[in-house]
Amino acid sequence: MSLINVNELYFNKSIKTSPFYHYTSSEALVNIISKSSIRFTHCAFLNDTEEYLYIDEVIDDIVNENIDPEVSGFIKSMKKNLDHNYSGLILKPADGKWFHPAVGEYYVLSGTSEPDSLPMWNYYVKTGNYYGYSIKMDVRELYKMISPFLPAAGEFICGKVEYDKENQKKIVIDFTRQLLDDYNNRDIEERERIIEDLQDTFFGFIQRTRLFFKREGFKHEKELRVVVLTDTDNNNRENFKVGYNTTKGLIKPYIEYTFTDKNLPIVHVKLSPTIEETIGIRGVGILLKNKHYEKVSVDKSELKLRF
């Protein structure tokens, strides 16, 4: 299993997987450090509840604009078989019929490329007291820790979210065009042999990119994401559990990885603008020291929040 960077694989962009800044509450910070535990939220319960399905809108535009008729025709024929169940299922043909292989579901750890972001402080730590923290993590090291506990068919995917709809359409069109060009350059006999692979590759592309496309209204977040495709039916594995949060009456599934023999790859912790600096840094420092995080630096935001 390898780390998949969707930006390098599909977006033709070289995006560093680190640094990755995760904004969180004080309670969550204590849990993360004291238990060496990190949670991923089910993809149906993110800040834009329909974002998993947003790619349908992008695809509809491509089909309707019909800039490249062959690409539009192929995408239109594939559209009815896309996943609409907030899962990691990739539809594949068998004997002329379509079915869902039991792979798993997507869970997301959200972060940003911004270490000290006013919109992120406002959004992520607005719990009534406005207290929170930004944790800088090394994504590559996190991958090394989590990947052994993913199923054989699982995936660990990272990347920067794309917000511009024209860029989103271009990414889908360009990938599909390359796919079809490769298919067209083969002889008829070979095309018949690889048609299922062609479709499977397209669906794999859609499944990996759909959680890295968001509406333009969220672009201020400058979001980075780590996504795991996992099997939650087998909950008897060490280091892994399925749990549920409740927020405003809603039940939100999550998965949690806990490491008893090693620390999470935390590099830096930043306090939100509203936390008293001297005592705040001292408290985090003692927590880190007691849990043997020897090289993690701590400081406070230089921004000012408006109430």
Structure tokens at 49: 């509840």
Cβ neighbour number for residue 23 with a 10 Å cutoff: 22
pLDDT over 70, % of the chain: 89
Pairing of strands 133-137, 240-247: unpaired
Q: How far apart are CA 150 and CA 127, in angstroms?
A: 33
What residues have CB less than 8 Å from 138, skipping those under 6 apart? 18, 19, 20, 265, 267
Average pLDDT, the chain: 87
In this structure, the chain runs to a length of: 307
- Give the dihedral of Cα atoms 198, 203, 206, 211; nearest 10 deg: -150
Give percent above pLDDT 90 in the chain. 59
List the end-to-end C-alpha distance of the chain, in Å, as a whole number. 46
Average pLDDT over residues 12-18: 73
Residue 35 is classified by DSSP as H
Highest mean pLDDT among 45-49, 67-71, 81-85: 67-71
In the three-class reduction of DSSP (H, G, I as helix; E, B as strand; rest coil), residue 246 is classed as strand
Q: Domain boundaries in the chain?
A: 3-18+38-106+139-265
Radius of gyration of the chain (CA): 21
- Pairing of β 3-5 and β 155-160: parallel
Contact 156, 150 (CB under 8 A): yes
Q: What is the pLDDT of residues 114-154, one digit of tens each?
A: 999 888 887 755 555 568 899 999 999 999 999 998 888 88
Strands (E) located in 145-304: 155-160, 223-230, 240-247, 250-258, 266-271, 297-300
Chain centroid, CA 19 distance in Å:
15
Among candidates 240, 237, 213, which has minimal Cα distance to 225? Answer: 213
pLDDT in tens, 200-257: 899 889 999 999 999 999 998 899 999 999 887 765 567 788 999 888 888 999 999 9
Q: What is the pLDDT of residue 100?
A: 45
Q: How far apart are CA 37 and CA 264, in angstroms?
A: 7
Q: Which of 32-36, 77-81, 95-99 has the lowest mean pLDDT?
A: 95-99
